[in-house]
Chains A and B, each alone.
Chain A
Amino acid sequence: MDLAYGPEYEAFRQQVRDFIAAHRDKAPRNFGVNRPSEEALVWQRLLIEHGYAARTIPKEYGGYGAEPDILKSRIVAEEFSNARLPMGLSNQGISMLVPTLLELGTEEQKQKWIAPTLRGDVVWCQGYSEPGSGSDLASLQTKATEDGDDFIINGQKIWTSTAHAADMIFCLVRTEPDAKKHEGISYLIFSMKTPGIEVRPLVTMTGHAEFNEVFFTDVRVPQKDIVAGRGQGWFVANATLKHERGMLGDPNAAGSRLKQIIELMETETMDGERLIENPLFRDRLLKLQARVLAMQFHGLRLLTASAKKEDAGIARLIVKLQGCDLNHDLAALAIDALGELGVLYGESPHLRAKGTWQHRYMFDLGLIIGGGTAQIQKNIISERGLGMPREPKPAKA
């Protein structure tokens, strides 16, 4: 155990601090709702230029071009968080499409899409899930049939966040109807302005439309806009999902949420007594504090394993399950500590924290279900982590 970063990294930390001191007035106040605002775009370009966004993406594709160094990335995150400054843009284009193209795209695709995506000029959405294909994603039915040099796409996608504001979609479609289900899928990228695409907002339990349904009717897409080859889509998607699951269940998000609850319990009163002095709520808080600490240290352990290129095994597989569950339990405590005030929502008088805790409590349930449900995570943990057998396939009738 050595929790010190050492002189090279401390010098780097100083650089980050100097940058923050010099530029913090340029940090955006308004990020834009669906697309990045003008000030968010300016901030993003500044961060890329100094290596605090798109840090390890090669320069030729519009990144900063630094060697991957997981500790430096963490230092950047720590310093921005301590200064309460926003990091660069985080969206599905940057976190999922860019790594996928870097790994599997053609040179032309990389040249065309990576730089504008990193800058925030091109916004992407992800067309994976379908009404009939959630956990069993490989059963997807949206079909792309050949027509000359094009595909003609028909079908429906669901859970497509930002589809209504997106310029582009990366989408899984069935191009080989006669192949086995995992081998008949291709990964296509195309414009959301293509004729035949209809986007309908999907209102969730939060009362907001965080997702959409997307309908394709005879949508014509050039065959060359495939990533990897025909029938390779499942392989490409798994490369991408790996990036998504890494984002869900971040223990540092739980850490800052815990801080907010402590502040809340130190200031809110019930019958004149501060909530932190109430032994029942306090005991719940302390239980959660231990869980948050355990996940934060677990995160440091995984970071070390990544830096040393070691396989952390089952330790990595549990993060999405545990992290999302923990975030949900944190929101639940905040609501319970607020009591009746905790159920206020919308624009109500006496509303606390703009209704954030209720919104999180509901939205987090979506995160527990999305990105591979908790139950799918448990299958993965037991099969890949503990070596337990897969569920046998039912005999064909």
Chain B
Amino acid sequence: MEFGLSEDQRLMQESVNRTLEKVSPLDRVRKAAEAREPYARDIWAALVDLGVPGLIVPENEGGMGLKLLDAALVSEALGRYVAPAPFIATAVMAPLALIGSASPRQQEAFLPKLAGGEAVVGVAISERASGARDGAGITASGGKLTGKALFVLDCGGADFYIVGDRDCGLHLVWADAEGLARTELTTIDLTRSVGELDFVNVEAEPLVSGDAKTTTRRMLDAGRVMLAADTLGAGWRMIEKAVDYAKERKQFGRVIGSFQAVKHMCAEMAAELEPGRSLIWYAAHAFDEIPEESSLMAAHAKAHLSEVGRFVARTATEVHGGMGFTDLLGLHYWFKRIGLDRQLLGSPERVRQDAAVLQGWAAE
């Protein structure tokens, strides 16, 4: 019995952290955000060098064949460095869509491309995950898609999209397909691209080799665990920043970190956030090894980290006093990252409703 990371996993996460420390400093993040780059190509290139896009792609398709727990460790690192790079759709949910529902021919055509970082892929299944807003929804008819998808993940700069329709079908759509219009949705978080796709009779390649409903569920579970891990990384970085600031900032002739009022804020953040790490590890582990628990654990990880993340984001900002509220310090990039994580693929209330259904406590 060993509940923890292997030496390989620790080393892998360290190496991602080291790389991001170099390529994703706050200055670079700020530049990407202010220029509204869909994603930072240099940071993406560094992640490609590390093999991140092929993390969970099987080895015989050119990937590393690792597990969701490994992906969670990368997601945590990306949150830690508020990295403006594609990941959740391109490196996790899209490969799962292809592995779960693409034909051997489609897998051969797309998986090695994904694994090699040659394509960025957006995923449009928010309506399944969060419920439809503003009349969103895609109808498939005669191999063509019509309708709109909101909050498409890794949307900007994507080469193609995996799209879920109203009947739970999955489709592959090229970004330059005729009749497809792409609009960037500006969220609070300028480090990740979320968009809208409008379809008018758009040619699509259906993914029909596996049960699309199961595949969608797997994509959603994995995505939720990734968002939880992103919040964990961003949250811990905020705690560290708050502690460092409290050790330097002086008021009333002493560092504010020596006041119990401030110390207790920091202790509460750490105490609330840290057990979430084990919940994420378990949820990621369950995804690969205990499939019957996978959806419930992913829901709990997502909802719990969202709640704790909000508390940490707010409290760490308060520890910084007025400076935390300014753009100058850039702390808000982490605050906003956590804010977006919370709503994507289901807000906590929505996700807990899923957890209720999964346990037979509510009707679907």
Interface, chain A (partner B; CB < 8 A): 1-6, 9, 71, 276-277, 279, 282-283, 286-287, 289-291, 293-295, 297-298, 300-301, 303-305, 314-315, 318, 321-322, 375, 377-379, 381-383, 385-392
Contacts and interface: CB of A to CB of B under 8 A. Distances in A.
A276 B362 CA distance: 8
Given A282-B356, A382-B267, A383-B263, A304 B3 contact: yes
B266 A318 contact: no
B255 A321 contact: no
- The DSSP consensus for interface residues of chain A is helix
Given A305-B4, A314-B270, A388 B300 contact: no
Contacts, number: 143
A382 B266 contact: yes
Contacts of A287: 303-304, 307, 352
A389 B275 contact: no
Interface stretch (B18-26, B120-128, B278-286): B278-286
B282 A314 contact: no
10 contacts: A1-B3, A277-B361, A294-B304, A301-B278, A314-B270, A321-B271, A378-B271, A379-B260, A381-B270, A382-B267
A1 B69 contact: yes
Contact of A282 (B257, B267, B278, B361): B361
Contact of A298 (B255, B263, B278, B285): B278
Interface string B295-306: 001001101100
B278 A318 contact: no
Contacts of B297: 293
A294 B275 contact: yes
B303 A389 contact: no
Contacts of A303: 1, 3
B243 interface: yes
Contacts of B281: 1, 297, 301
Contact of B356 (A286, A386, A387): A286
A321 B258 CA distance: 20
Those 6 A-B pairs whose CB atoms lie nearest each other, nearest first:
A297-B278, A382-B263, A300-B3, A381-B267, A378-B267, A290-B304
A301 B278 CA distance: 7
B167 interface: no
B355 interface: yes
A2 B2 contact: yes
B31 interface: no
B300 A289 contact: yes
B267 A301 contact: no
Nearest to B254: A392
Contacts of B220: none
Interface in B208-261: 239, 243, 246-247, 254-255, 257-260
A361 to B, nearest CB: 21
A290 B303 contact: yes
Nearest to B1: A5
Nearest to B264: A378
Contacts of B304: 287, 290-291, 294
Contacts of A378: 260, 263-264, 267-268, 271
B2 A304 contact: yes
Nearest to A6: B1
A286 B270 CA distance: 22
Given A314-B270, A381-B270, 20 more contacts: A1-B289, A3-B289, A4-B1, A286-B300, A286-B303, A287-B352, A290-B300, A293-B282, A298-B274, A298-B278, A304-B1, A304-B3, A304-B4, A305-B4, A314-B274, A318-B275, A322-B271, A375-B260, A379-B267, A391-B260
- Among the interface residues A379, A383, A386, A392, which one has the most CB atoms of the partner chain B within 10 A? A386
Contact of A318 (B2, B259, B274): B274
B349 interface: yes
Nearest to A2: B2
B270 A385 contact: yes
Interface in B308-350: 349
A386 B266 contact: yes
Interface string B1-31: 1111110000000000000000000000000
Contacts of A286: 300, 303, 352, 355-356
A301 B1 CA distance: 10
